[in-house]
Amino acid sequence: MKSPFATQTCFLTAAVFTLLFAIGCASLTSGPTQRFEFYSDPPGATITFNGKTIGTTPLTNAVPRTETAKIVISKDGCTKTVIKRANMNPAVIGNLVSFFIIGVIYDYATGAFYKFKDPVVHVELVPGPDPGLEFWRQMWLAGGIPTEEFHRKVEELWKNGKIDEKTKLEELQRTK
């Protein structure tokens, strides 16, 4: 007859083993971030990744794995937006083969579920005519620039005679 201690030990060992395997394969092998390379011509452009400024070009940086990445690169009024879509990370298949659905859920929750096929962004920033109020408003609405920078651009447009004082005040009030 088995002792209650042996039964409990066996159950505990099985529970620990299951829990270890439930941690996602992709989370263990890939992690929640992926290295991206960012380049621009000319260099020194500000990089915004999913609404968060992460540095200036050229830059190699680990960024969170997500299903979709919105990358905004801007310098001197020139802005390019690049949208990258991720695929399922092949490491997730380890969870699917072993029927560890908890592992798939864990990978999804940490972001390790995703993998970008081409994590290199290279843009050419060509100066054009000075952007107007609508351009800067759209940049702000898209998360390409923070509110403080939008306010600076509105002030600059007013100082350069591109908008009147009433429009300036309306924009600053509306975007507090």
What is the Cα–Cα distance from 168 to 157, expressed in whole angstroms?
A: 8
- In the 8-state DSSP scheme, what is residue 92? G
Sheet strand arrangement including 120-124: 59-64, 33-41, 120-124
- Residue 108 near residue 32, CB atoms below 8 Å: no
What pTM does this model have?
0.58
Burial class (CB in 10 A: 0-12, 13-18, 19+), 73: buried
> Phi, psi (5° rounding) for residue 173?
-70, -45
Residue with tokens 């962004």: 121
pLDDT in tens, the chain (176 residues): 555 555 666 566 655 555 455 455 656 666 788 899 999 999 999 999 998 999 999 999 998 888 888 999 999 878 899 999 888 766 766 666 555 677 777 766 676 777 888 889 999 987 766 778 888 888 888 888 899 999 999 999 998 888 899 999 998 898 88
- Residue 21 near residue 100, CB atoms below 8 Å: yes
Sheet strand arrangement including 52-56: 52-56, 46-49, 68-75, 78-85
Closest CA to 25 of 118, 115, 89, 117: 89
